[in-house]
Homo-oligomer: A and B are copies of this chain.
Amino acid sequence: MSKARSTTTAEKRKTNAQALLKHLGESVYDDLDEGRFPSLTLASRSVRNIVYDRKLQQFVLGATTVKKSSGNIKHIRPFTQLVWLAYFAKKLVGEKRTSTLRDVFYSAQAFNIEFQDQAESDELITDLEVLMQMAREDMNIYPEERSAIFGNMTIEYTVPGYEGKKADLSANPDGVMIGPALTTAEFADTDAEMVLAIEKGGLFTRFIEEQVHKKYKALLINTAGQPPRSTRYLLRRLNQELGLPVGILCDADPWGAHIAMVCRSGSANAAHLRELTTPSAVWLGVWASDIVKYKLPSDKLTEIDIKRLYELKSDPRYTEKMWHDELDTFLKIKKKSEQEAFARYGLSYIVDKYLPEKLQLMKSA
């Protein structure tokens, strides 16, 4: 598929972010001009205001709002912090620079804005996201963690110094990091027919060595455990912009299942965002029932695993029959297993035997 290069996704995001941030500033000025104490009103992130939306298949924020008013002595601090964050984000976007959450915390000190610790600045950055209804990545604020991508796809970078430069994502067999540049790149050309997200680097490399990208025309993504938000955002873009089905392969334990679920339906922490989920993504495995079916080497579930399984059973994201059944199977067999356990049948078994069976699921999805 090929795409005409008019306005890039990155340019659209930038224009949108700048407009929203400017609007926030203007609302403060307007309040002042009209003799009011400036204030900001945003959706509440209290647990009671986080509800599961079955249609969107993700958590969303309810109707309760909170107001931060400079007229209230208790609010002056968070109000000021929030306005400064908006100022700093606008500066980042304008200068086409990115920053980590940690950088933001330290940068505040240059402006005599006080955050007690990074936890506090992270909280306020989330408030800014809620206020703007926009992900911090759109404001060029990224986390530390990275995952990687590999496959037959040409992308076009949009970051400064790289505007319009193309890169072939099959040029480096260890994969390319998914950071700010890749997340904001345009998809120029690919013959891929699906995306496979994999929990671990070892299996990611195995898939590349076994040519899964060619055999199954798949883009491969190493989520490196629970994927960072920018990786989830990229999964959604590949799904929505290119119409590629997304399959997820994780360890057969509650933590692996939840990686698949967060890729699909997001997290409660990001209930205020809509760009981090891929509702059509398919959990390919490794399922609890696969441990039985494939006679996989396994370990006993720990107390913590079992506690976690009961938590997931009461989680609204897990109500679909197939997910719920697998949670029950874990509790019944009291075993867990790993992706690498298939090596018991030889290193290529997972690619030659297991994967083709599982890919049927994506066709029927």
- Which residues of A does B touch, CB under 8 Å? 97-100, 102-103, 105-107, 109-110, 142, 144-146, 148, 157, 159-162, 165, 167, 171-182, 200-202, 205-206, 209, 211, 224, 297, 338, 340-347
Contacts and interface: CB of A to CB of B under 8 A. Distances in A.
Nearest to A337: B106
Contacts of A180: 174, 205
Contacts of A172: 167, 172, 176-177, 181-182
Contacts of A340: 100, 102-103, 105-106
Chain A contact surface mostly: mixed
A144 B201 contact: yes
10 contacts: A100-B201, A142-B202, A142-B205, A144-B202, A171-B171, A174-B176, A174-B180, A174-B182, A175-B177, A176-B176
B173 A109 contact: no
A202 B140 CA distance: 12
B146 A201 contact: yes
Given A97-B209, A177-B174, A106 B343 contact: yes
Find the residue from A105, A179, A344 having the highest chain B CB count within 10 A: A179
A98 B205 CA distance: 8
A200 B144 CA distance: 7
Contacts of A145: 201
B182 A110 contact: no
B177 A148 contact: yes
